[in-house]
Structure 1
């Protein structure tokens, strides 16, 4: 696959961030709390700074929306969405379920996505219309057609647990072959590469899942929020699955048709 300049800059930016992250990983790094009580470290800030520099040097007229360094040009034709360490709690505690998420949105539609997990040792990327790749190999979602044979992973189910869909989720749990809670980037990598069939989350941020949504879609899956809407800046929930199982899961979880 020939990479566009957009994709190459995203990959280069993620690689530069990985060098910063590896320097601090499993070090005795100071942790602060942001106003929303989520943790942040020097590694978060410095890795976003190198990503932001790489992107703004290459595309000075593009907008930028970062988890740590703020945003500018949210209404720009091209908008970069960046979470330098998605899974800071994992990073701080020294286990490798964290990643760098870099996505490019064009007129509200995600066109490039990179998901880099340097400590875990995985790199996934996609460009709209060009397929999805994991560690250099093209990947596809599974062809499992029966819910009773499916593996489903969940994460961030707090709002689901306190809402009317909790009993619907219980029916999903009862029906599927296997429930796991891989969380963060990892269950989307598994979904895109055909190792599980679906992911459900009810409390996410667009920066967490923008790149991953494109990777899953380009791998042949369907990715919406729990209201059946495509991914956008306001997305806070996820239903992602292969094309065979998405309709049945959507019905069980009372997801409106888009």
Structure 2
């Protein structure tokens, strides 16, 4: 399987770099339309989604594809790529440089590889997660090809915790960390993976927001706690367009008891 993982990584690197270079031409220059679920989409999202899907189809015969702007019904294929062409579309349209191209690879419904690229920051994250897949996959996470790990620090007011716009109710006077809101679900999670923050909560992420980040976070040693539905294994025939997966991500399981009490007023949506 070594050659396979090398091929997957090189494909993700080349494809995301090519797409990212073009997206930089659109960055801060396009208008967004509101979709039925309230999220935003631009012509750049639509173009990038199709370009990535076309590249996968040309290089991985027999692999399924699920993407935010394309097919949203999970296919009945052993291998399936899950794509978010621009995670952080609002940031993208407003010229805020925190947005990413997210590419995840699932085997029999379970994420086994994730690659996330932030063109404006020249940052790439990738990881592998063997889990119980039976594949001979490594279990490692990287930022710009350097190994990353979650933090072992204890919470303090010199540490950070990320929230989304729908989870601001966690901000209370006795909250143990400083709060940050970055505007991109995948990057919120990645900051836990690389030990920059101790935890993160996203109230309404979709499967394409989390497929790649799930792998990287797990491989870096982090704790993924689903607050309602378990996202994986993904199920063939299911339409994922309106299913959210509220998630608490922490640098280690011991912090669940510290942060979970602050979640009681968070608006959890399915």
TM-score for both structures, normalised by structure 1:
0.83
Task: Please name the residue that 1:139 is paired with.
Answer: 148
Shift of 1:150: 4.3
SS at match of 1:174: coil
Equivalent residues in 2 for 1:1-258, closer than 5 Å: 3-27=5-29, 29-71=30-72, 74-128=75-129, 129-146=138-155, 150-157=159-166, 169=170, 174-184=174-184, 185-227=186-228, 229=230, 231=232, 233=234, 234-243=243-252, 244-250=254-260, 253=263
Shift of 1:75: 2.1
Q: Structure 1 residues 211 and 19, CA, compared in 2 at 3 Å: closer, same or farther?
A: same
Residues 229 and 246 in structure 2, CA contact (< 8 A), matched pair in contact too: no
Shift of 1:136: 1.8
SS at match of 1:70: coil
Residues 167-199 of structure 1, C-alpha deviations (whole Å, 9 max, x = no match): xx356x623132222231332222111111000
Shift of 1:49: 1.7
Shift of 1:221: 0.3
Residues 102 and 212 in structure 2, CA contact (< 8 A), matched pair in contact too: yes
Q: Structure 1 residues 104 and 191, CA, compared in 2 at 3 Å: closer, same or farther?
A: same
Shift of 1:20: 2.0
Task: Please name the residue that 2:240 is paired with.
Answer: none
Residues 110-152 of structure 1, C-alpha deviations (whole Å, 9 max, x = no match): 0010111111321111112331111121111100134666421
Shift of 1:231: 4.4
With 95-104 and 72-81 compared, the bigger mean Cα shift is at 72-81
Mapped partners of 2:104, 2:58: distance in 1: 16
Residues 90-114 of structure 1, C-alpha deviations (whole Å, 9 max, x = no match): 1111111211111011111100101
Mapped partners of 1:94, 1:183: distance in 2: 12
SS at match of 2:17: helix
Mapped partners of 1:22, 1:210: distance in 2: 24
Shift of 1:34: 3.1
RMSD: 2.6
Mapped partners of 2:37, 2:244: distance in 1: 18
Mapped partners of 1:80, 1:141: distance in 2: 26
TM-score for both structures, normalised by structure 2:
0.80
With 188-197 and 221-230 compared, the bigger mean Cα shift is at 221-230
**How many residue pairs are counted as aligned between the two chains?**
244
SS at match of 1:245: helix
